[in-house]
Amino acid sequence: MLFEVTDRELEPERLFNHVRKDAAGAVVLFHGVVRETNLGRNVEYLEYEAYPEMATKVMEQLVGELHSKWEITDVAIQHRTGRLEIGETSLLVAVSSPHRHEAFAAGEWLVDRFKDKVPVWKKEVFEGGEEWIEGDRH
């Protein structure tokens, strides 16, 4: 398992290489990307902030739960903090498995749980204002 919170550009190729194993026939790589609009507003950029020490502990628990639910070969996650422009990747989740349906299901579950549990926040700076986004109302 690999988990990193970083203020630098995320590294899909590195995460792919981390989870790719000879026993795995499928790798699902999810990219969460900054969109140009949200709640009907024109987004200028996002600011992400994390509580990294706790994020690491929560991720370890989630990945433990994931392995109890699906046959997963390996998992790698990166989240970016700081200022992100439209089109930049904020979250990368890579999941490998012998079986593609398990890789898809586990990847989707992990992104959902991440957004629900991991202590990371974003402030949206839009035309005419800014707002801390709280919870999944976006």
For other proteins, the binding residues (CB under 8 A) are 25-26, 31-35, 38, 43, 46, 48-51, 53-54, 57-58, 79, 90-91, 97-102, 111-112, 114-123, 132-136, 138
Could you give the 3-state DSSP secondary structure of residue 103? helix
The one of a copy of itself, other proteins, none whose footprint includes residue 75, by CB under 5 to 8 A per kind, is none
Tokens of 76: 């790698």
Q: Which two tokens stand for residue 55?
A: 């994020």
Q: Which of 95, 92, 89 lies closest to 24, judged by CA?
A: 95
> Of 52 and 98, which has the nearer Cβ to a copy of itself?
98
Which is nearer to a copy of itself, 8 or 35 (by Cβ)? 35
Please give the Cα distance from 31 to 10 (Å, whole number). 10
Type of residue at 120 = V
- Residues at the contact surface with a copy of itself, assessed by CB under 8 A: 12-13, 16, 20, 22-37, 86-87, 96, 98, 100-101, 103-104, 107-108, 111
